[in-house]
Amino acid sequence: MQSVGIYEAKSRFSALIELVEQGEEVRITRHGKEVVRMLPVRRRPVITDEQIARELGQIDALHATVRPAVGANSPDTLRPAGEAPDALRRKGRSAA
């Protein structure tokens, strides 16, 4: 750990940043009292491989519970019986 006054920190700012990047803690003081503490940023992965595997497993479990709609909620029930799936689309285009 290194402690420097504000005036010195101002004149050596780039060098102090380099120290912090190397893992050093730098404290800046005003009239002998600490006012700023510069610490290195600890970069951690946002998500670990274990978390990814767990999330993918949960997605697979959800997919296994989802079944295609049948009956009243099926898209097939929205068109008249016996009509081809794209008949409504063709009918709408021919009217234009």
The rounded distance, in Å, linking the Cα atoms of 90 and 96 is 10
Which sequence spans correspond to the domains of the chain?
Answer: 1-67
Q: Residues 40, 20: contact at Cβ < 8 Å?
A: yes
**Cβ atoms of 6 and 28 closer than 8 Å:** yes
Q: In the structure, how many helices (H) and strands (E) does the chain have?
A: 4, 3
Distance in angstroms (rounded) separating the CA atoms of residues 33 and 62: 57
**pTM score over 0.85:** no
Distance CA 77, CA 86 (A): 13
* Spatial contact of 2 and 27, defined as CB atoms under 8 Å apart: yes
pLDDT digits (tens, 9 = 90+) for 70-83: 655 555 555 666 66
CATH number belonging to the domain at 1-67, selected among 3.30.300.30, 3.40.50.12780, 3.40.1620.10, 3.40.50.720: 3.40.1620.10
The rounded distance, in Å, linking the Cα atoms of 42 and 35 is 22
* Per-residue pLDDT tens digits for 35-62: 999 999 877 667 888 999 999 999 999 9
